[in-house]
Homo-oligomer: A and B are copies of this chain.
Amino acid sequence: MAKTTPGRAMVKQNSGARERRRHRGSDRVTIQDVALLAGVAPITVSRALNTPERVSSKLRERIEQAVSTLGYVPNLVAGGLASAKMRMIPVVVPSLSILTFIEVIHGIQQTLEEAGYQVLLGSTDFDLDREASLIDSVLGYSPSGVILTGLRHHEGAVRRLKAWGHPIIEIMELGDEFIDMNVGVDNHAVGACMAQHLVSQGFRRIAYLGTGMSRDYRAMQRFEGHRQVLEQAGLECEVLFRREEPSSYQAGRRLFLEALESRPDLEALHFANDNLAAGAVMEANRRGIRVPEEIAIGGYLGLSLGEHLTPSLTTVTVPRFEMGVEAAKLMLARLEGRTPPSAKVDIGYELTVREST
């Protein structure tokens, strides 16, 4: 019997493998194959991979050897089912065509990927119902946590999320009624900041120009900050909105021309973001209108473009990439069981005064 052992072992191995794959044969290398080769139990392989410190270095080495000779790649789905946790974080944003969200996602992705988490992308087109169903479906992936945009969501979704019990971060906006954690910027203060700057520069006839506020209520919050400052300064609050149109250089150019036409006595224009403001500066260049001598222009975001235009653009800069990084760090802290100092992070903003005002 002893002398047949090797042969029998091999036969058993083969037939065992075939047996297991009787029905739906994926020919993937499994933890079982590794265990067989390393001469240990599957669970030991699992431990060697997930909690190496709980396995003797001798076995660990043998297992690592087997892993690399077989080219074993863990089946994260099986692991996820067993442990009810996938190393995955869905990030749900309103749109991927708006640079702001992209930059935040970049920060999130970079930080999470370094820590071994993958980012799942979802976009809602600013529709809270779509957001709700998207949230439901991504929860089906058993993610480790979720990152959402804004503080306003479908009521049912909020209820389900609160019951869910895993880390949730709401980004972009700051407030008191968040689900779990909150990283963002005070939109109202941002709008007020630029308005304050324009007023303090001595401008009196100031207009606020924006697009898309019917979709993105955060743009409306910034406007509200602007409005209050003007009111307190006793100034009239001129507005030019194109609520349905997305922001673009093109839209900025049009808005600029319209404003000049309808109110030629305007002294300063506060644009809802740098895309619009940059469009306005470029239109002014094309028409030979001097900025800020004939009319001043202010934006919001801190797009790198604004720095290079002539005149360079005064703006309120929000650290968007850093916002993503902070959100990811907060997420990781919670995932690793650390208790973050605060569940709410104000990412801040900065008034960047340049030539256009």
Contacts and interface: CB of A to CB of B under 8 A. Distances in A.
Interface centre among A86, A105, A110, A113 (most CB of B within 10 A): A113
Contacts of A250: 304, 308
A140 to B, nearest CB: 4
Interface residues of A, number: 52
A78 interface: yes
A26 B84 contact: yes
A29 B30 CA distance: 29
Interface string A40-70: 0000000000000000000000000000000
A25 B167 CA distance: 18
Interface stretch (A11-19, A116-124, A346-354): A116-124
Interface stretch (A187-195, A224-232, A279-287, A326-334): A279-287
Interface stretch (A131-139, A147-155, A199-207, A337-345): A131-139
A24 interface: yes
Interface in A214-254: 248-250, 253
Contacts of A115: none
Contacts of A77: 77, 80-81, 86, 140-142
A9 to B, nearest CB: 27
B249 A304 contact: yes
Contacts of A90: 118
A249 B106 CA distance: 19
B96 A110 contact: yes
A175 interface: no
A283 B283 CA distance: 17
B123 A120 contact: no
Interface of A: 24, 26, 71, 73-78, 80-81, 84, 86, 88, 90, 96-97, 102, 105-106, 109-110, 113, 118-123, 136-142, 160, 248-250, 253, 279, 282-283, 285-286, 304-305, 307-310
Given A75-B142, A113-B123, 12 more contacts: A74-B140, A75-B140, A76-B141, A78-B81, A96-B106, A109-B123, A110-B123, A121-B121, A249-B304, A250-B308, A282-B308, A285-B285
**Nearest 7 interchain pairs by C-beta:** A76-B140, A96-B106, A249-B308, A119-B121, A282-B308, A77-B80, A77-B142
